[in-house]
Amino acid sequence: MKTKMKTHSKPGVSLQKKSFWTIFKQQKILYLMSLPFVAWVFVFNYLPLGGWVMAFQNYRPGLGFFEQEWVGFQQFIELFQDERFYLVLRNTIVMSVMGLTVGFTVPIMFAVLLNEIRLKAFKRTVQTVSYLPHFVSWVIVAGIVTKMLSVDGGVINDLLVAVGLLDQPVQFMTKGEYFWVIVTLADLWKEMGWNSIIFLAAIAGIDPQLYEAAKVDGASRFRQIWHITLTGIRPTILVVLILSIGNLITIGFEKQFLLGNPTVVNFSEVLELYALNYGIGLGRFSYGTAIGIFNSLVSIMLLFIANGIFKRYANQSVM
Amino acid sequence: MSKLGRNRLTKGDRIFDFVNYTFLILVFVVTLYPFLNVLAISLNDSTDTVRGGIHIWPREFTLENYKTIFEYDNLVTGLINSILRTVLGTVLGVFSSAMVAFTLSRSDFQGRKFVSIFIVLTLYFSGGLIPGYMLMRELNLINTFWVYILPGMVNAFNIIIVRSFMDGLPYALQESAKMDGASDFTIFWRIVMPLCMPVLATIALFVAVGQWNAWFDTYLYNSSNPSLTTLQYELMKILQNTNMGASDANSFRGVAGEEAAKQVSPESIKMAISMVTIIPILLVYPFLQKYFVQGMTLGAVKS
């Protein structure tokens, strides 16, 4: 196939009417600099997609690809007949939606409130500290959360008992009904500051004269926040919403893995952990892959639902 | 308060400010307290820690906990592996991102569109856990150090960030170098790379933090090989053991041996190990803050 030539946009270099191979030779260094990495990406990102066919086989290690037994949709049928699957699906959806809602709105609020602070040093200190947890691993965060919520000496229990909200310490980490909230709040603690960076940058771009004018007109602080700050960062809010909805695809399992324990497993197990336990734990690779494929489908569905709601209430589509 | 007085504060403003400051101080305390608490417990005499009630200041100061954890072989191996993978992973990751980004920023590069789409698509899908695991098995990467470095080396997100920074550089610099007969690689290495230091620092931080904090790949691929363990994985095992309800003393015996278990509280040990994994990040992070704020803003705006 002959490649169509584009007229070059940069002045001084003209590349008109040369064949693909002539240019290829001229640009061989550029090709050398990127094609090895394309091959890399192919191996590590595209090849695993080929593994999806395993879901339609009954994969046995040691046999070649074509020697495997083909079973059609049997893995999926088995999956849909497993009671546990529906529990895990519920957990996945609930935690995704909770995480999206809280993880998207609170950083905006935080950025707006921070912007109202006029003491520069105070503002900078709070900001710097708020980014910190983002850089710490979930292993550490899970350790910290467990420590803070523990019965003996956990600061949360101590505080709640001291103010009289609790009669005696509660074993938060062993109560399934608290697990979703704990995961959501832990995530908020870890990422709130980090996620607010982009909103703060957007707020910094708003013309200060707008505030001056509003003040002259006697607008209250709330009106200023509503009409100037939030209106000013509306495009950024939309971009971030799109990105967070996009991230529903990768809700992950790290938090659930690290914060969960056998007593709350009915609330903490998500699809990916379920795939991990069956697929690798029990060596049922085909079944695990089927769960993985279903996980992707659920994520895409969540994306469409979120997009639909968004379209309806914000009259704007992200896809 | 004279700074605020300039703007004729109404009563509503004062209430707003009061509530706002209170709220943000609360956020500040809630964010910082756990770190200070971990630090204080790690520096407190281990047997004393069991009595509880330590908040942000050690009651009986000691460095004994830190000494103890460095006598634990797995932890030292883990520390070395974590440092190795962080350094190597960061150097290779930054270099590969910069190189690919450079070719994508060259509007005369005819393979640009193909390479760009091929790489960006990976942001939107992945094969999933099991196929990924099978691939590592096929490639014989399981039970090797390379499983930490190779799979994530070429990262689409980092390439996009670097590329959008390079797009902002004046093209004239490259052009005049070309006139002088510099090859494309020389231009990249001598002219573009030095100008990209701010953005390279940003993604270096991202990659380094990712490598330092990783534990799942050790769990999944290398858990049967103690010589390939990582710091986060060791910490994970210790913290999870206590989560599972094993008695503190038992889980600690696994860590530092019977003898030490009699003298040192596991709580303080756990917190000391936690501190060892937090400290490196605490050290680099303030210096890089300026860069990553820039990098984040840039990356998000462009994509």
Query: Residues B9-26: what's their mean pLDDT?
Result: 90
Q: Which of B23, B27, B129 shows the shortest C-beta gap to A292?
A: B129
Query: Smallest CA–CA separation between A231 and chain B, in Å?
Result: 17
Query: Smallest CA–CA separation between B124 and chain A, in Å?
Result: 8
DSSP state of A135: G
Task: Give residue B260's pLDDT.
Answer: 40
* CA distances for B103 relative to A7, A197, B172, B184, B196, angstroms: 18, 29, 16, 9, 14
Query: Residues B113-140: what's their mean pLDDT?
Result: 89
Q: Is the dihedral of CA A44, A46, A52, A57 positive or negative?
A: negative
What is the share, in percent, of chain A residues with pLDDT greater than 70?
91
pLDDT-based confidence at residue A149 (cuts at 50, 70, 90): very high
pLDDT-based confidence at residue A130 (cuts at 50, 70, 90): very high
The DSSP line for A36-102 is: HHHHHHIIIIIHHHHGGGGGGEE--TTS-GGGSEE-TTHHHHHHHH-HHHHHHHHHHHHHHHHHHHH
- Taking the alpha carbons at both ends of chain A, their separation in whole angstroms is 33
Query: Smallest CA–CA separation between B249 and chain A, in Å?
Result: 16
pLDDT tens digits for B220-231?
999 999 999 999
pLDDT-based confidence at residue B299 (cuts at 50, 70, 90): low
Highest mean pLDDT of the ranges A50-54, B1-5, B94-98, B126-130: B94-98
Whether the pLDDT of residue A150 is over 80: the answer is yes
Which residue intervals of B229-265 are DSSP H helices?
Answer: 231-243, 248-263
The residue behind tokens 């992707």 is A296
Check CB contact under 8 Å for B110 and A23: yes
Check CB contact under 8 Å for A272 and B129: yes
Query: Residues A157-163: what's their mean pLDDT?
Result: 90
DSSP state of A5: P
pLDDT tens digits for B127-168?
888 999 999 998 999 999 999 999 999 999 899 989 988 988
pLDDT-based confidence at residue A317 (cuts at 50, 70, 90): low
Chain-centre distance of CA A187, in angstroms? 10
pLDDT-based confidence at residue B265 (cuts at 50, 70, 90): very low
Task: Give residue A16's pLDDT.
Answer: 57
Which amino acid is located at A192 in the chain?
Answer: M
Task: Give residue A5's pLDDT.
Answer: 44
Phi-psi region of A283 (alpha: psi -120 to 50; beta: other; left: phi over 0): left
CA distance A297 to A289: 12
A114 or B259: which leads in pLDDT: A114
Question: What is the pTM for the complete model shown?
Answer: 0.86
A17 or B41: which leads in pLDDT: B41
Which chain A residue has the Cα nearest residue B151? Answer: A44
Phi-psi region of A13 (alpha: psi -120 to 50; beta: other; left: phi over 0): beta
Check CB contact under 8 Å for A280 and B133: yes
pLDDT tens digits for A267-315?
999 988 999 998 888 888 999 999 988 888 887 887 788 777 777 776 6
Average pLDDT over chain A reads: 86
- Of B202, B277, B211, which is closest to residue B39 (Cα–Cα)? B277
pLDDT tens digits for B26-74?
999 999 999 999 999 999 988 888 787 888 899 989 898 899 888 888 8
Chain B contact for A107, CB < 8 A? Answer: no
Chain B contact for A244, CB < 8 A? Answer: no
Chain B contact for A23, CB < 8 A? Answer: yes
CA distance A123 to A115: 8
CA distance A178 to A267: 9
Task: Give residue B252's pLDDT.
Answer: 43
- Of A216, A14, A226, which is closest to residue A112 (Cα–Cα)? A226
B260 or A130: which leads in pLDDT: A130
Check CB contact under 8 Å for B23 and A113: yes
Task: Give residue A168's pLDDT.
Answer: 87
Task: Give residue B256's pLDDT.
Answer: 43
- Of B95, B187, B242, which is closest to residue A139 (Cα–Cα)? B242
* CA distances for B164 relative to A204, A234, A243, B179, B290, angstroms: 21, 23, 18, 25, 18
Beta strands A57-58 and A69-70: pairing type? antiparallel
Average pLDDT over chain B reads: 84
Residues 133-192 of B with CB under 8 A from A: 133-135, 139, 150-154, 156, 171, 175, 183-185, 188
Check CB contact under 8 Å for B171 and A10: yes
Q: Which of A48, A148, A293 shows the shortest C-beta gap to B34?
A: A148
Tokens of residue A271, six digits: 């699809």
A279 within 8 A of A288, measured Cβ to Cβ: yes
Most A CBs within 10 Å, among B129, B148, B217, B232, to test the A interface:
B129
- Of B55, B63, B50, which is closest to residue B276 (Cα–Cα)? B63
Whether the pLDDT of residue B106 is over 60: the answer is yes
Whether the pLDDT of residue B79 is over 90: the answer is yes
Check CB contact under 8 Å for B130 and A292: yes
Which chain B residue has the Cα nearest residue A123? Answer: B24
Q: Cβ contacts of residue A83 below 8 Å, gap of 6+?
A: none
- Of A134, A16, A70, which is closest to residue B205 (Cα–Cα)? A134
Contacts by B33-40, CB closer than 8 A, 24 or more apart = B33/A155, B34/A144, B34/A147, B34/A148, B35/A132, B35/B278, B37/A147, B37/A148, B37/A155, B38/A144, B38/A147, B38/B271, B38/B274, B38/B275, B38/B278, B39/B271, B39/B275
Helix (H) or strand (E) holding A288: helix A285-314
Chain A contact for B95, CB < 8 A? Answer: no
Q: Which of B151, B184, B243 shows the shortest C-beta gap to A146?
A: B243
Chain B contact for A243, CB < 8 A? Answer: yes
Task: Give residue B182's pLDDT.
Answer: 85
B302 within 8 A of B160, measured Cβ to Cβ: yes
Q: Is the dihedral of CA A221, A212, B27, A196 positive or negative?
A: positive
Query: Residues A106-124: what's their mean pLDDT?
Result: 94
Residues 13-72 of B with CB under 8 A from A: 13, 16-17, 20-21, 23-24, 27-28, 30-35, 37-38, 52-55
Whether the pLDDT of residue A111 is over 90: the answer is yes
Which residue intervals of chain B are DSSP H helices?
Answer: 2-5, 11-42, 46-49, 64-69, 73-105, 112-120, 129-138, 156-167, 171-179, 184-186, 193-195, 197-213, 216-221, 231-243, 248-263, 266-302
Environment class of residue A220 by beta-carbon count within 10 Å: exposed (0-12), middle (13-18) or buried (19+)? middle
CA distance A134 to A99: 16
Whether the pLDDT of residue A82 is over 70: the answer is yes
- Of B126, B147, B139, B135, which is closest to residue A292 (Cα–Cα)? B126
CA distance A66 to A63: 8
Q: Which of A240-249, B15-24, B135-144 has the lowest mean pLDDT?
A: A240-249
- Of A135, A134, A133, which is closest to residue A148 (Cα–Cα)? A133
